[in-house]
Amino acid sequence: MSSAFGELFRLSTFGESHGQAVGAIVDGCVPGIPLSISDIQTELDRRRPGQSRLVTQRKESDTVQILSGIYNGVTTGTPIAMMVNNSDQRPGAYDHLENLYRPSHADYTYAAKYGVRDHRGGGRASARETVGRVAGGAVARKLLSHCVGVEILAWVSQVGPVTSSIDPSVPTLDDVEADPTRCPDPEIALEMTKTIEDARRSGDSIGGIVTVVARNVPPGWGEPVFDKIDADLAKAMLSLPAAKAFEIGSGFAGAAMTGSAHSDPFVPGPDGSPVPTSNYSGGVQGGITNGADIVCRVGFKPTATISKPLMTVTTDGEPVELRATGRHDPCVVPRAVPIVEAMTALVLVDHWLRHRAITPVGLGDCEPG
């Protein structure tokens, strides 16, 4: 099973939904970076369940322990190990699922691949696994902010049919966190709330889209041809639970445009470097950053566990009707916001380190002898 992500900045995660703990190990973090528990805890608090009536009511404090890699408040360059205990796990609530496959879940596919599965809330396939991603992403975010000045911000831009078209350059963290939907558009946020609550009351769920922007990313990051930065972002986002779609820049809308309309013309910047006057490319051209904001969108399917009756089969192949119970998000996108930010940070910090390793030098610096 692949539970590691990244090349030079490498994150490995562990744990199951209803096991003893979840966590992460970060390898490749440069030494001497100020890092505290609060840097990690702040992001985990944004991800944790039970924040509002719009999300699952599982009660987890998600209190992180840093086990290694930090000394006197700074990184040491050694692996950073972080762990979060599961305090509100209820594995017994899933006993009735041990011998059947839940529709649209990973129950059957895990059994088909491994010959065994953890039926307790989906085990490793549960969104509980993303605790480790957010913890590792918090370290990556700290490096990018401290060393480069990169800012990463995500928000909910769509819930079901309700869409916000706010300019990606406008929202702030305060705007995003002002409403439980994490939509920075107040009027649209009210409509999103109603849509989520209507789905919950009817025993159903609803999907949505998270938009993320990375600001102040320098030009030149990316590793064509197979590790283009947009390709790595796509892999990162589609590795998230419930993620089913990814767009960067104009995305699928670009397929309906002409080349002249889709062009991002350059003008000279203050230092003479090219500056694009539009951003249909989403900050990436040829798989390499061009200095503009990186703008991506991630589409999440409706939560698979709903209380409406669904047909499925048992592990013996017998048809059965399932009425799911338990604590589940009627819409995953509000809690997905810090997870999308974390995966963006992990991709960017890895490419920053890779770019530093191959910074071009003049021929005079490479004379033989």
Q: Contact 359/240 with Cβ under 8 angstroms? A: no
Contacts of residue 318, Cβ cutoff 8 Å, sequence gap at least 6: none
Question: How far is it, in rounded angstroms, from Cα 26 to Cα 16?
Answer: 18
Residue 366, pLDDT score = 46
Residue 2, pLDDT score = 86
Residue 275, pLDDT score = 94
Q: Is 300 left (phi over 0), alpha (psi -120 to 50) or beta?
A: beta
| Residue 60 clears pLDDT 90, i.e. is over it | no
CA 191 remoteness from chain centre: 24
| Residue 362 clears pLDDT 80, i.e. is over it | no
Question: How far is it, in rounded angstroms, from Cα 120 to Cα 97?
Answer: 8
pTM: 0.94
Averaged over 199-217, what is the pLDDT?
Answer: 96
Between 136 and 54, whose confidence is greater?
Answer: 136
Residue 326, pLDDT score = 64
Residue 369, pLDDT score = 41
Question: How far is it, in rounded angstroms, from Cα 148 to Cα 142?
Answer: 10
| Residue 76 clears pLDDT 60, i.e. is over it | yes
Q: Contact 131/83 with Cβ under 8 angstroms? A: no
Which two three-digit tokens encode residue 13? 């995660």
Contacts of residue 215, Cβ cutoff 8 Å, sequence gap at least 6: 150, 151, 152, 153, 169, 293
pLDDT digits (tens, 9 = 90+) for 336-347: 999 999 999 999
Percent of the chain surpassing pLDDT 90: 81
Q: Which residue has the tokens 């505290």?
A: 36
Count of Cβ atoms closer than 10 Å to residue 147 Cβ: 14
Which of 113, 112, 115, 137 has the alpha carbon at shortest distance from 43? 137
Residue 29, pLDDT score = 97
pLDDT digits (tens, 9 = 90+) for 114-162: 998 888 778 889 899 999 999 999 999 999 999 999 999 999 999 999 9
| Residue 361 clears pLDDT 50, i.e. is over it | yes
Q: Are strands 21-27 and 10-15 parallel, antiparallel or unpaired?
A: antiparallel
Task: Tell me the helices (H) and strands (E) count for the chain, helix number first.
Answer: 8, 18
- Assign 367 a pLDDT band (cuts: 50, 70, 90): very low
pLDDT digits (tens, 9 = 90+) for 305-332: 898 999 999 999 999 999 877 667 899 9
Count of Cβ atoms closer than 10 Å to residue 218 Cβ: 13
Helix runs in the chain, H state only: 37-47, 107-114, 130-147, 173-177, 186-201, 229-238, 259-262, 333-357
| Residue 268 clears pLDDT 70, i.e. is over it | yes
| Residue 245 clears pLDDT 50, i.e. is over it | yes
| Residue 363 clears pLDDT 50, i.e. is over it | no
Q: Contact 297/210 with Cβ under 8 angstroms? A: yes
| Residue 368 clears pLDDT 90, i.e. is over it | no
Q: 2: buried, middle or exposed (CB in 10 Å: 19+, 13-18, 0-12)? A: exposed
Topology of the domain comprising 4-356: Chorismate synthase, AroC fold (3.60.150)
